[in-house]
Amino acid sequence: MDKRTFLKTSLLAGAGAMLLSKTKVLGETIASHNEPVPFPQAPLPYPYNALEPHIDAQTMEIHYSKHYAAYTKNFNDAVTNLKVTATDIKDIFKETSKYPAAIRNQGGGYYNHTMFWEIMAPKAGGEPSGELASRINKDFGSFSKFREDFNKASMSVFGSGWTWLLEKDGKLVIATLPNQDNPLMDISPVKGKPILCLDVWEHAYYLKHQNRRAEYIEAFWNVVNWKKVETNLG
């Protein structure tokens, strides 16, 4: 091994060892890793075209490889520059108000998309079952009423934002939040445990649906991975 290769290898090994199995984002999903950044970009759990025809491949590719990649990079840069020591992203979000805006915007973009990829899947959709189904029935009356409320909320987002199903004091609640905010952040007017989320930024649907957001929301229901969503319950 020449000197240059040795240096490069040692640097990589050092960074890896330092960060191994440190950070937590969504439970254990990407908790154990050996990446040269504290919060690694989560792999997309399916190919770009897997959610066709509901979510088109080009949108998925740009959304994942450009938008999400940028949030991930910028969030890691911010965490590194600010010398953030918390390793669970929830602990960082609990103190969002104490940090510069990069933690709120880039960290939110990182977390929200990481969750968004997971709660979708090919050959999914339909209706939830088990505990999630009964909790939805209890708190919204029925699944169709829940869907109607979630659709209405998603349509009401002015500008960029997300729709959330969250658990708050044991109850399931729908909320919309602007930009990349999420219910784990101390600055959020509605706080709780995120269960399901929908990105209603135009970049999430414009290529295929242009200004027809309602059409995109309808398409989303065909790819919701309810089995995964159920595991998000507390």
- Sites of contact with Mn ion (CB under 5 A): 199, 201, 204
Nearer to Mn ion, 216 or 226 (CB): 216
Q: How far is the CB of 124 from Mn ion (least distance, A)?
A: 19
Angle at 92 between CA 117 and CA 39, to 5 degrees: 45
Nearer to Mn ion, 8 or 66 (CB): 66
Nearer to Mn ion, 111 or 201 (CB): 201
Q: How far is the CB of 106 from Mn ion (least distance, A)?
A: 12
Distance from C-alpha of 155 to C-alpha of 157, rounded to nearest angstrom: 6
Nearer to Mn ion, 48 or 201 (CB): 201
Task: Indicate the burial class of 96 (C-beta count within 10 angstroms; 0-12, 13-18, 19 or more).
Answer: buried
Q: What is the DSSP string of 134-186?
A: HHHHHHHSSHHHHHHHHHHHHHH--SSEEEEEEEETTEEEEEEEETT--TTST
| Residue with smallest beta-carbon separation from Mn ion | 199
Q: How far is the CB of 63 from Mn ion (least distance, A)?
A: 6
Q: How far is the CB of 7 from Mn ion (least distance, A)?
A: 38
